[in-house]
A = this chain, B = another copy of it.
C-alpha cells in the first residue's frame, strides 16, 4: 500500500505538467487562433461538453462536468445564446430548469476546435506504436472515470473537514505558511 503510493507519487508531477500545458492560456490562444474563433475559453469548453454529451443539458449538469459553479456557466451560456451558438428550451419535466442545446453553428465551431487539438495531439505522438495509442486512450478514459467517481464520493462524506481536529496526528504536521 505504501509502495503503491510511492509509485503513484511520480505520476503527480507528470499530471501537474500535463494539466498546466492543456490549461495554459498559451495553448488555448494558439488552438483558438487555428480554429478561427474569438470565443472565450469557458464558452468553447461549454460547446465541447454539449457536443460530447450529444443531447441538451441543464446548467447544473454542465457546471458539474466542468467542475465549476453554476453562475459561471450561466454567464457564458448567455453569451453563447446571443451568438446563436446554443439555444435554450424549457425542460417540460421540471420547469425550474431550462435545457441548453447546441446549434449547428455552435457544433461547427466545437468540431473545428476539437479537430485542431486532435490533429495537434496526433502529431505529437506520431512515433507511438498502435498499441501504446490504444493503451493511453483506454487508461486515461479509465483514470478520468475513476477520478471523477472518487471525487464525488469524497464530496458526499467530506464537509466536516472545515475545522480539523487540532489534536489529530495530521494537525501535528501543521507548518505555518
Separation of A120 and B9 alpha carbons in the complex (Å):
10
Cβ-defined partner of A112 (8 Å) among B83, B117, B137, B175: B175
Separation of A151 and B148 alpha carbons in the complex (Å):
28
**Chain B residues within 8 Å of A158, by CB:** 30
Indicate with 1 or 0, residue by residue over A134-161, a CB within 8 angstroms of chain B CB atoms: 1111011111101111110010001001
Task: Tell me, yes or no, whether A5 is within 8 Å of chain B by CB.
Answer: yes
Residue of B nearest to A51 (CB): B13
Separation of A30 and B142 alpha carbons in the complex (Å):
22
Separation of A34 and B135 alpha carbons in the complex (Å):
33
Q: List residues of chain A with CB under 8 Å of any chain B CB.
A: 4-5, 7-27, 30, 33-34, 36-39, 45, 48, 52, 65-68, 83, 85, 105, 108-109, 112, 114-115, 117-128, 132-137, 139-144, 146-151, 154, 158, 161-162, 164, 170-171, 173-177
Other A-B contacts than A5-B122, A11-B140, 12 sampled, CB-CB below 8 A, are A8-B121, A12-B117, A26-B67, A30-B161, A36-B170, A37-B175, A37-B177, A38-B177, A83-B177, A120-B150, A124-B143, A125-B143
